[in-house]
Structure 1
Amino acid sequence: MSSHLLSIDSLSRDDIDHLMRVATRMEPIAQRRKITRVLEGAVLGNLFFEASTRTRVSFHAAFCRLGGSVCDTTGFTFSSMAKGESLYDTSRVMSGYCDAIVMRHPDQGSVAEFAAATKVPVINAGDGPGEHPSQALLDFYTIDKEFALQGKTLRDAHVLMTGDLKYGRTVHSLIKLLSLYAPMRITLVAPPGLEMPSHLIERVSRRGLTVDVRESLAGDFSDVDVVYTTRIQKERFTAEMSEGFNLSRDFTVDRAFMDSRCGSSTIIMHPLPRDSRPEANDLDVDLNGDPRLAIFRQTDNGIPVRMAIFATLLGVEALIDKDLHDVPWFVPERLGVDDATF
């Protein structure tokens, strides 16, 4: 594994398998049963120049669970970039303060430019419509865990990706990652103008993925193992796209779609946030409480996976099992009132 995590392209299948094994070892800590302090004294710089709740707090919590401390900055307004500072200068300055840096930026390629100026490990938490490698890793970890509960394997799995496949960086990273585990089937369904970039389809097809592009969610999806849906990224639309865009209800994943067109064991995933407003036609809230809905198990899995990323990049993964203590505080058996066991 390289010194930074900027793209799924930097990871081999062996790297991913290693991170999955380390994440499994992090589960007792992430689930608040054990405590470790292997990163005590280390400082994380959490630089988010684009809106985030889950990813920012998840990285923050993961570093703290390993015993480290976190310095946060959010938005351009409160950074020196608002004064014209370059990514190069910001990178070099932050490298003097921090032992690892997580960065989100609205411009594709910006995090790689930032990382090129430092020897401190940098993790890409999203670069515009580019990639989101840690999200793909936690998505893969989730799929693997959910499959294990059903006695399934990844081989020949069928994954439906729907929603904004053009600007949705999570699906760009995930489809690259899944291509390392071919043979596998991927079905892509997107509203007009929001299709998966053709160069990604061509690339993963060469690696052995079977990719089927459809125009709608009509039809039979009973053999789909995973439905992965994404929010429409209107904030990335051009003015012309925004003016004429109207998302049809036909692209909504809701209980009616799942019950009539998918199987009883089909897993439902979403990188979140989902737009819960009725007119948004995003993943429907009528699926709340459905055991097939894995979105909150998915977000929970972000902690052990991101802990594994930090531990691996900073070289402390071998120390984890030697530095565990019991948690003394109260921890609820279930975290959400609607949590269901799959």
Structure 2
Amino acid sequence: MEQRIRQQATELGFAACGLAPAADDPLRAARLHEWLGEGRHGAMEWMEARAGQRQGPQSLWPEARSVIALGMSYAPAHDPLALADVTDRARISVYAQGADYHDIVKRALKALARWLVAEVPGAEVKVFVDTAPVMEKPLGQLAGLGWQGKHTNLVSRRHGSWLFLGAIYTTLDLQPDTPHADRCGSCTACQDACPTGAFPAPYQLDARACISYLTIEHKGPIPEQYRAALGNRIYGCDDCLAVCPWNSFAKAAADNRAFLPRAELVAPRLAELLALDDATFRSVFAGSPIKRIGRDRMVRNCLYAAGNSGDARLLPRVEALCSDPDPAVADAARWARARLGSADQA
């Protein structure tokens, strides 16, 4: 049965599949509560609100006996850092340049779950992808998909840092795979690459300083000490992932066309993004995970990028946003205006 599950997962588009026991891990739970106790989750209240269920599979579903951990590759064909110095363009994290992975991964998870129930009458299953209190990364390591690297994300020897993760909990007793050993060694590339110093130590992340958190989850003005470090990143950050040496073994995920980047999201022009109203935002980002942050947060992020661009030609669009109804947008516009005004005078 275990081998048949892996074969079916491959046919459904999963690049990685492993099995793990569903029993809670006291050490993993303790680390979660320590991280929350230190406030490193920032304003992600849901992490704390359902911490009891998040600490392990059986805390969420006591009847679970096994976990099927799965990963879909979204390895990019291009260098995610290529636009770092292209000031008139914005950078969007690789994972968000194609279709919304929640939809693609969940559809495949449900198909695999239906197949399993048909194969084993009486088996019960629950599927999860990123929207439930499930710690997919440590479960992925336990199931042998890879290991949690020093940047806290899962790293695969075959797929590098580019895996979308999902999980199926089941009442079946399946033979677990061997947990994956840590292969980071003495490498500190991801730690050194972080623009904001979001890693207090290897294998530790303070989300409050992470650009992905700041541009996606954080509401209101971004703290001033991080604004310059944003550069031209307007949605997420790939730096710690992109520099991982294990990515050299990853093949571009061109076989999954849903994750191919949309042309308009690969290198969007800042000037055009600054002109977004709500209707245009919804149209441009339809079917993208970006849509959930809304127009105001996107334009706020673009204004920080404009302020960092040194391009005084953006001043008219920036000035027009200084009186935006959203306070965070107006604040970001005033910050960008001051930065561009200084650049213009120089």
Same structural fold, with TM-score higher than 0.5 when normalized by the shorter chain: no
Structure whose residues are more often helix by fraction:
2
Q: What TM bracket, shorter-length normalisation?
A: under 0.3
TM-score scaled to structure 2, two decimals? Answer: 0.22
Structure whose residues are more often strand by fraction:
1
Point out the structure with max Rg over C-alpha.
2
